[in-house]
Amino acid sequence: MAASVGLEGIRKTYGEVAAVEGLDLHVAEGEFFTLLGPSGSGKTTSLRIIAGFEQPDTGRVLLGGEDITRRPPYARDVNTVFQDYALFPHMTVAENVGYGLKVKGVARAERRRLVDEVLGMVRLEGYGNRRPVQLSGGQRQRVALARSIVNRPKVLLLDEPLGALDLKLRQEMQAFLKSLQRELGMTFVYVTHDQEEALTMSDHVAVFSAGRIEQVGTPAQVYEQPATEFVAGFVGTSNIIERGGRRADRHERGR
């Protein structure tokens, strides 16, 4: 069900500004892969290029080895979860989750079965008749997740999905997302500027800066063996680098 994702030689400009430049990236099938970086580093643009919401100036987008660069978003076997949930307020939870299935012409009985199944996966059994306004932020986020996975896309793209939640709920949702990804065996590509979130949840992390990837590695590699000074400074407050024949930690370098 899952599929690998590839970006090859991607360049995307807005006027004179290059949002991403010379981007090469491979996400293995079935892994939780995070694009980490500060605002404006190119991570969200890269996610939108995978989704088909943006077209690259140059380069290719691959899904399961197939070139999908020129396919519109609806013709790609990927779904996207946004920070603002984007739920229909006038629909019930079940109607929100099943909306995409309805558009595709899935029969009502099968739609109900799939919706009930996925609501169970996101721990919202019995919530199908409620409206989004009756739910907490974390519950609304799980409805958005359910809607995105109910048709079993090969890849789920998540654009800072926990940014609107408070710290305790965000930590709970981090653990939930990781367990859900393992249960589904689906490829997750996750965008965040939160270093702890990236290190806690991911199989691999790509650290972005100024439209380029500074380093790709496991959370341990990125934290313990930063490839550049930017990665050392951005990812870990206790990373140590060699500088001028002496060792200086990040706090000392920041003075």
Whether 148 is covered by a domain: the verdict is yes
Domain membership of residue 82 as a residue range = 78-152
Q: Could you report the per-residue pLDDT of 3-21, keeping only the tens digit for each?
A: 799 999 999 999 999 999 9
Residue 2, domain member (yes or no): no
Residue 95 forms part of a structural domain: yes
The answer to the question of residue 48 being in a domain is no
Structural domain includes residue 127: yes
With tokens 């009930």, the residue in question is 116
Q: Is residue 102 part of a domain?
A: yes
Query: Residue 137 falls within a domain, yes or no?
Result: yes
Total count of domains within the chain: 1
In a domain, 194, yes or no: no
Give the C-alpha separation, 66 to 6, whole Å. Answer: 9
User: Which pLDDT score is estimated for 228?
Assistant: 93
pLDDT of the chain, 255 residues: tens digit per residue: 577 999 999 999 999 999 999 999 999 999 999 999 999 999 999 999 999 999 999 999 999 999 999 999 999 999 999 878 789 999 999 999 999 899 889 999 999 999 999 999 999 999 999 999 999 888 998 999 999 999 889 999 999 988 878 888 888 889 889 999 998 899 999 999 999 999 999 999 999 999 999 999 999 999 999 999 999 999 875 444 444 444 444 333 333
* Residue 17, phi then psi, degrees to nearest 5: -95, 125
